[in-house]
Structures are given as structure tokens and as C-alpha cells.
Amino acid sequence: MSVKTELTFTLNGRPVTLEVPVEMTALALLRDGLDLKGTKYACGEGECGACTIEVDGVTVNSCLMMAVDLQGREVMTIEGLQTNNALHPMQQSFVDHGAVQCGFCMPGMIMQANYLVKKNPDLTREEMTRGLEGNVCRCTGYSKVLDAVAAVVGAKQEA
Amino acid sequence: MSEQVAFQHIEKSSLIGQRIKKPDAPAKAIGKTRYINDMVLPQMLYGKILHAGRPHAEIIDIDISAASSLPGVHLVITAKDIPDLKLGFVKDNAPLKDKVRCERDEVAAVAAESEAIAAEAIKLIRVTYKDLPGVFSAEDGLKDGAPVIQERFPDNKSLKFEFHHGDLAGAEAGSDIVLDDVFNVHYVTHCCMGTSCAIADFDHNGKLTIYSQTQYPYNYKMDLAPALGIDPGDIRVIQPPTGGSFGAKLDVYPFEPVAAILAQKTGRPVKILFDRQEEFINSPTRQPARIHLRSGCTKDGILTFRAADVLMDNGAYTSWGPTVPVIMMRTTSGHYRVPVVDFTGQAVYSNNAYAGSFRGYGNVQMTYATAQHMDMLAEKLDMDPIEFRLKNAQKSGETTPQKSFLRECALAECLTTAADAADYVAKLKKYTDERSEEGRYKRGIGLASSIHNAGGAKIHKSDGCGTILKMDDYARVTVITGASEIGQGIDAVIGQIVSEELGVPPEHVTLVNNDSDLGPWDVGVHASRTTFIAGNGARRAAIKAKEQILAAASKQANVSAEELDLRGGYVVQDKDGAVVTRLDKMLRQMHFQPEPDVVMVSDYYEPNSEPEGRDHISDHSAAYAHAVHIAEVVVDTFTGEVKLEKITMAQDVGRVINRMGLEAQMEGGVAFGIGFALSEEMLFEQGRLKNPNFRDYKVPTAPEMPEIEMHFIESDCAEGPYGAKGIAELPTIVIAPAIANAVYNATGIRFFNPPMTPEKVARAIWEKTQQ
């Protein structure tokens, strides 16, 4: 019924070409079209950060982005953060610090945390707190999340 | 060679109190975990519900013709298409409605080939309503001539709970100070990050498999079956990973039988998944309450009585919400020595949303009132508020008027520990003195305490949990427990406890607890009970397995079983840790020996508590615990913003089991309490929710969180696993009144009606300056 268009972009390092309905969001494409269910729907209006992905190195709420706007871009999802089947240091730090409870918000939280640390390796706790303001978690009270991010920053500074 | 030498002797060591990682965390952190929200079954259809969107109306006609003929739609149903079967605590609710009693009422449902088609079909259903005058508060519901909400209850009165103890008139006459205040505790909701979801699938023998977020799978069958007219035994509950719960999933709500009916009628699996707006409008809330509290004491600071008259807006249907007086009255009667108690809780039907259970379960509401009254009495007495509380604090071995037996009572230690750590008394005086000084920012400090059941709560006849434990030939352990995992971390705790007893690494313990066809009975994740109840069960099962292994090893090694132990994957001599044999080898030998055997044990643990009776006089929990929170705030008197800077907490945890999980529960509980105290509020106008989104309903985010200093008091509970008590609700219970007391300290203004939003605080400050 709906109008479709061809879309080509890079997804977690690999080229993808497919037909997508023009009204589809990037979130729906990832979850339903490409079976990458690590990116979560929790509000659908950019208020909670559960659907956070990286597009051309910048985090966005994929629920607010149209799939067709991914044309020609580099997209990374939570599934693309691991390398060689090993947890990314940010993912490992979240596990080690007990930052994961129900875990539903964690893919988005980890994507945003990783982006903040990439952008500023000397991130202060205050900056982390502000930088994660758009990611809602109902289980943790954020303390262990911030501990996990701080540990990654600390490890980078020591290295 | 060196490894052999190292393992000849294995020292005794303990995991209890250590930091144990959640075993499911890596899969969740890499996005691999498939939550129920992510699940797609073969041939699955998508269900969607048409909600009334109006509070009170007769349904004159429903035209489903356009929806039914939309391509991709398999079925459209209304109340006319299903038998008149009920659900809910007093069976006053139905899967689909023939009359509208609240905004969320389910009027019709669709099953279609995609979510988009289902949503389109819903829009094509034409309903003709005749709107009726509504009831939008408990007070209005009690008025003469008020519209009747539920025909079975013509006076609109729903559940009522009472407890009376001692001579109230005499106690009032004997009081030097009597306080009389009304607190209005508001609507909030859970906001689980994973929205509500159910997937139903019938087989050809009429057995229903329901994939559910429920946190009480065994009673869930009992509650779901009547709404479908099937036998509870014909329901299998599978619990995929779920995005939070916090009490929201402790009942059956209409969308669940609707999914099952659609599945039954279409012969296909059907999934219903809420979007966020549906989640806000159609989920249970915390029970709101008008609490009229009177408290008295003598001039020497001895409490004389508490009298609480609680009026609750029941909403249109009865879930767990209006049963919260069961816990409210325990705090009224049992928190501090209260010689005379008078408690009445009455729920009244209205056309508003209806409440379910929510972390803290009535105690969040009641403690908001009692903890402020304790401060207010101390102020009237001109007494140090710690001294006042200590005078009235129970000691170990005391029993409350409702017969809660405080076997290990650490209330006094919680009070002094938190007060000393925060320098509470000195700061309280300093900020009181500074209150009248000029300046935009005012500092305040406030303390609150409460009691909560910490060894389960026997609100059913049983409060038990079954465990099945087996070991394989390679010393790997599988534990099948009735206890559910909803993110809280029982997976880590059971692994830890079983490791402790069997001397195997926690990662060698696999937990199976998501399928009611496999798991033994359990009451559910609620009442801070799971580590206590399921932990005890897992420990007892592991001890049985250990005894079986050591008995076999003792025959083989020709030493008594008492002289042996399991450590680090070996059978060892208990006294010096000398290795006897490898555990996996021992397990293999057990079924190759003349009397072959495998390790496969079970346990059913029922705590020694008493069922909550109609008179509410029973020791309904196997343990009770206290917590004290001290909040330090800065109030911006220009904007009304309350900045929470620090929480110092002391809680009786009995014994620390998984330190990391314990801290995580404290921090998460504090966040819930902060939202309740400062920002979260469901705003209803004529029964309609005006803020069903995260923009207008503000849950705490990282910047709102204070520094948290935790002190765990280990009272060594005789009944708990390794001495542990239940812990998860208290941090949510005590924080809001601590903040309210701190805001009072800063501003001299009492907030009887939370949340303390900037608008409300700024207005109160302005009004005070006009006086």
C-alpha cells in the first residue's frame, strides 16, 4: 500500500541496500526490517533514549528519524559495539558495576555513554550526568550507570 | 604440578556479602536479550484494543463493519462476542465492556496481520456512546445521589479495612499534644521502560500458553482462567525477560484475557503490545489516598495513640490498589510503640483510573503522613527529634498491637547511625536558625523512618516457594525455582547461595524460572520477599544436595560425612581443607556405585509466618525491618525548585548477601521515592489523564539523583538466609517524607499534598510572605 524507496547505508560496518516504506522510522527499520532488536522502543517521541543509535558518529533517537534519512550514512547500533565477539569496554563496565537490572534501557544508555566518552575522554561526572539526562532508567537510580562510565573514563586516562 | 600442589588444601571461604554480577547482564548489555516486547512467533497476529477515551457512558452501538472488512484484519470483537466472564480482585472487571466506567475501558479488540493494520482497523470502529455524569473523587462518590459506578455496589463503597486497639477516647484525653492533619497522596504510575505486552497461543487441546510479564506466574493462572472460562491447569505461563515491573504486573489486566480470546478465536498466536501513551492510560497506578491522621503524645514525649482515617479513590474497578490498608495499618500501629490505634481504610468507586500494587504498597502513602507527624510532635515538644524517636523505638523481642513480632529490631541503631553520619541534629538546628535570614537559597535537612515486612507477607494462605536442584556429571548445577526474575537480581542471589553451599563457582549454576510447566509453586515477586523466601528455599535444596554428596563421599573415603566439606569444586576434609576427590568425579561415581544415585533434590520452604486474617492480628511476616533516610536539600525560594543534594540512609538488611545487588536496589528505590516526592504526578481532569507521556510526567533522570551514603545494619535475622532480611521496598517508602521534613526545615512550610513541584513550592513560599 505504502510507497517504498530504495535505501543504501552502512550498518555496523557492512553495506545494506533494501526497499523501505517512506513513512518508516529508523527504529522500525532496525527492529522490524533488519531484526536488530537491541535498539528499544519505549516512548516513540524522543523522550527516553531507549532507541539511541549512532549516525555518522553522532547519537540520535532512532524513533524520531525517518529510515530514508539514513541514505548514505554510517549507522551503528548496540549490536555493532562489540568487536571480535567480545564485549566493548563500556558494555563490560556496565556489567561489572551492576548497572544492568531489567536492562531494557541499557542499549540506549550504553550507546549514549560510549558517544560521550568518545567525544570527550576527560569527561567529568557532572558532564556524564548531563550527557545521560535524555536516557531514562527506572531500575537503577543511575548511580551504578555513572560508576560504570566513570570507570571507563578512568581506565582511558590511565592508559 | 604447581596446580596440584595449590589444590591439595582448600581454605574455607564465603561468597556471602560479596559483589556478584548479574548473570543475564552481558546479554542485556550487548542487545542480544529478547524481551517479550521483541518476540515474534510464527503465524503471529497483532492485537489492538479500542479504549473508550471517556469516563462514564452507555454504549449504544458499535459498528465494526469497516474495520472487519479492512484487508489484513482477521477478527474484530466486542463484549457481545464473548461470554460474560469477570476478572479482578472482587470480579468487577471484564475483558471487554458493555458499559464505560473509566477512560481506559476496553470496548473492542482487533487481530490483524501487522501492528499498522491493527491500528488502522481500530480507527475504523464506530461507537455510539451516551455519556453519563461521572464521579471523579472518593468524596463525590459518597455523596447522596452520586452516580452509581458498579451496579453491585449501589453506595459506591468498595473495600474497607479496619483495626482498632485500645481506648481511643482515653488515650486522647491523656495526651498533652494532639496533631490532626490531612495528607493527600497523589496518583503516580510505574512507567516500566518495557511497555505492557502479552502473547497468547492456544494449542488444539485447548491449552493456553501465555507469554507474560507477570511477576506472579502461579496465581496468575488462577486469576486469568475465570476471565476465559477455562481451567487454570490449562494455562502455561512463560515469562520472557521483561522491561521492569515494580508491582505493575501483580494482577491480570484486561489486555491479557483479550489477547487470549483473540488467539482462541483466530487459532493463531496473538500479541498485544502497548505504546507509551496506552501504557500511561491503561496501566495500574499507585493507590491515591486522603489520609486523615491524628497522633498524640505526652509532654515527656511518649506516643499515646495514632488514629488514621484513610479514604481511597478506588477507580472504576478493583485491583490490588484498595487493599493497601493491610500494610498502611501495620505502619500506623507498629512503627514506634503505639499503645492505642484506630485505623479505617475505605475505598470508593469512581470513574477514575484504578490502582494496582506498586513498590512500597501503601507504606509509601502512610509513611508520608506518619513520618511527618513524628517530626511535628518533636517540634511541638521542643525535643530533639532523634531523642523523641528513640524514646518510642521498640527493642528486639517486642510485639506490635497487630502481633508483628520484632524479633530482631534495629530501629534505634538505624536512627543513631544515620543521624551521626549526617550530623543531623546540629544541621537541623543550624538550618532552622538560618530560615529567617535573607537569601534566595535555603538549606534543609529531614529525617524519616519506617517499618516494612522483610520476611515475606502472608496475605495468601501460603507464602512459600518451591525449588528443584539437580547436578550433572560435570558438577554443573541447575536450579528450578518458583521465584521470578523481573530485573531485581534473584538470578545472581540464587547462584551465589547455591555456590556458597556446594563449593562451585556461581557461573556453574543455571537458573530456570520462566516456565510455569517446569517451576514449582511460588507466590510471586512482591513484598520484598524473594531473597528471603526463594533464597531460603535454594539454600535448603543445596544443603540437601550437599548432604547426599557427602554421604556418598564418606562411604568411599571411609570418614564421617561431618568431617567433609565441598570447596572449590572438590570434596575436602573440613578441618584442614585437604582434597579427598574432585566433585565432578564424585558425582559420576555416585551413579556407577552399587547403589546408584543422582543428585536431584527438591525443597518447599514455607516461612513460619501467620496468614493475614480478617481481624489483622497475626505475625504476617517472618521478619520485619526498619530504614531511616536523611535528606539534605537546597530550596530555591524564587523558583520553588527543591534540589536534593544528599541521602544518608541506614537500613536493617539482616545480612548483606549480594552487596552490589543490594546497593542497586537501594539506589533504584531512592529514585522511585524522589520521583514520587518531587516531580511525578498523573493529572486527571474529569477522569481523563492529561499527561500520558514522559514530557509532562517527569520521571527522575540522572541529574536529579543525589549523592547516596548507605549504611547497612546487619541484625542477623534468625529466619533469613544467612541472616538476611528483605530489602527492596523500604528505600522507596522513607525518602519522600524525609524530603518533606527537609523542605519544612528549609522553609517552615509543611507539604501535606505531594509532589513538591517547583510550582507548588514557589506558590506556598509566596503565600507565606503574604501572611
Q: Suggest the residue from B35, B193, B507 to mutate for an interface test with chain A (most A CBs closer than 10 A).
A: B193
pLDDT bucket at B460, cuts 50 / 70 / 90? confident
The interface predicted TM-score (ipTM) is: 0.98
Please state the rounded mean pLDDT for residues B257-269: 98
Which residue, among A39, A154, A33, A138, has the nearest Cα to A97 in the 3D structure? A154
B276 → closest Cβ in A43, A101, A107: A43
Question: Domain map of chain B by residue range?
Answer: 2-33+464-605, 36-132+195-241+249-282, 363-449+623-770
Q: What is the pLDDT of residue A1?
A: 56
CATH number of A89-158: 1.10.150.120
Question: DSSP H helical segments within B580-724, as ranges?
Answer: 583-590, 659-674
Note whether B28 contacts A48, CB cutoff 8 Å. Answer: no
CA distance B180 to B292: 7
Please state the rounded mean pLDDT for residues B75-91: 96
Note whether B702 contacts A135, CB cutoff 8 Å. Answer: yes
Q: A150 exposed, middle or buried (CB, 10 Å; 0-12, 13-18, 19+)?
A: middle
Chain B's closest residue to A88, CA to CA, is B30
- Domain B36-132+195-241+249-282: which topology? Aldehyde Oxidoreductase; domain 3 (3.90.1170)
CA distance B222 to B462: 14
Chain A's closest residue to B114, CA to CA, is A32
Chain A segment 124-153 residues within 8 A of B by beta carbon are 128-130, 132-146
Q: Suggest the residue from B32, B491, B695, B701 to mutate for an interface test with chain A (most A CBs closer than 10 A).
A: B701
Cell numbers describing residue B339: 499503645
Where would I find the beta strands (DSSP E) of B34-80? 45-51, 57-63, 73-78
- pLDDT of residue B1 exceeding 50, the answer is no
Q: How far is A126 from chain B (nearest CA, A)?
A: 8
For B293-308, the pLDDT digits (tens) are 999 999 999 999 999 9
Please state the rounded mean pLDDT for residues B648-665: 98
The vertex-B133 CA angle with B127 and B135, nearest 5°, equals 115
Please state the rounded mean pLDDT for residues B542-569: 96
Q: What is the pLDDT of residue A85?
A: 85
- pLDDT of residue A157 exceeding 90, the answer is no
Q: How far is A146 from chain B (nearest CA, A)?
A: 8
For B364-380, the pLDDT digits (tens) are 999 999 999 999 999 99
Question: DSSP H helical segments within B32-90, as ranges?
Answer: 65-68
End-to-end C-alpha distance for chain A, whole angstroms:
55
- pLDDT of residue B2 exceeding 60, the answer is no
B670 → closest Cβ in A45, A137, A141: A141
B21 in contact with A at a CB cutoff of 8 Å? yes
Q: Sort out which chain A residues have CB atoms less than 8 A from B190's CB and list them.
A: 138
For B181-223, the pLDDT digits (tens) are 999 999 999 999 999 999 999 999 999 999 999 999 999 999 9
Q: How far is A20 from chain B (nearest CA, A)?
A: 15
Q: Sort out which chain A residues have CB atoms less than 8 A from B664's CB and list them.
A: 98, 101, 139-141, 144
For A99-110, the pLDDT digits (tens) are 999 999 999 999
* CA distances to B141, B479, B614 from B460, in Å: 30, 25, 12
Conformation bin of residue B21: beta by default, left when phi > 0, alpha when psi is -120 to 50: beta
- pLDDT of residue B258 exceeding 50, the answer is yes
Which residue, among B549, B576, B36, has the nearest Cα to B269 in the 3D structure? B36
- pLDDT of residue A156 exceeding 90, the answer is no
Which residue, among B307, B310, B311, has the nearest Cα to B294 in the 3D structure? B307
- pLDDT of residue A37 exceeding 90, the answer is yes
- pLDDT of residue B263 exceeding 90, the answer is yes
Average pLDDT over chain B, rounded to whole?
Answer: 97
B708 in contact with A at a CB cutoff of 8 Å? yes
Chain B's closest residue to A44, CA to CA, is B276
Q: What is the pLDDT of residue B771?
A: 82
pLDDT bucket at B7, cuts 50 / 70 / 90? low
Note whether A39 contacts B31, CB cutoff 8 Å. Answer: yes
Q: What is the pLDDT of residue B369?
A: 98
Chain B segment 660-689 residues within 8 A of A by beta carbon are 660-661, 663-664, 666-672
- How long a stretch of residues is chain B? 771
Residue percentage of chain B with pLDDT more than 90: 97
A143 → closest Cβ in B33, B486, B708: B708
Contact B234, B207 (CB under 8 A): yes
Contact B450, B721 (CB under 8 A): no
- pLDDT of residue B562 exceeding 50, the answer is yes
A44 → closest Cβ in B194, B244, B275: B275
Note whether B667 contacts A144, CB cutoff 8 Å. Answer: yes
A18 in contact with B at a CB cutoff of 8 Å? no
Q: What is the pLDDT of residue A83?
A: 85
User: Which class is domain A4-80?
Assistant: alpha beta
* CA distances to A143, B525, B546, B565, B625 from B494, in Å: 24, 14, 16, 20, 22
For B698-746, the pLDDT digits (tens) are 999 999 999 999 999 999 999 999 999 999 999 999 999 999 999 999 9
Where would I find the beta strands (DSSP E) of B502-594? 509-512, 564-567, 570-573, 579-582
Say yes or no: do domains B2-33+464-605 and B363-449+623-770 share a fold. Answer: yes
CATH number of B363-449+623-770: 3.30.365.10
Q: What is the pLDDT of residue B3?
A: 43
Please state the rounded mean pLDDT for residues B122-126: 98
Contact B199, B211 (CB under 8 A): yes
Residue percentage of chain B with pLDDT more than 70: 99
The answer for residues whose C-beta is within 8 angstroms of residue B299's C-beta and 6 or more apart is B176, B177, B381
CA distance B128 to B104: 17
Q: Suggest the residue from A24, A101, A126, A132 to mutate for an interface test with chain B (most B CBs closer than 10 A).
A: A101
Chain A segment 66-125 residues within 8 A of B by beta carbon are 77-79, 81-82, 87, 91-92, 94-98, 100-107, 110
Q: What is the pLDDT of residue B302?
A: 98
Q: Sort out which chain A residues have CB atoms less than 8 A from B669's CB and list them.
A: 141
Note whether A102 contacts B275, CB cutoff 8 Å. Answer: no
CATH number of B2-33+464-605: 3.30.365.10
Q: What is the pLDDT of residue B6?
A: 52
CA distance B36 to B621: 33
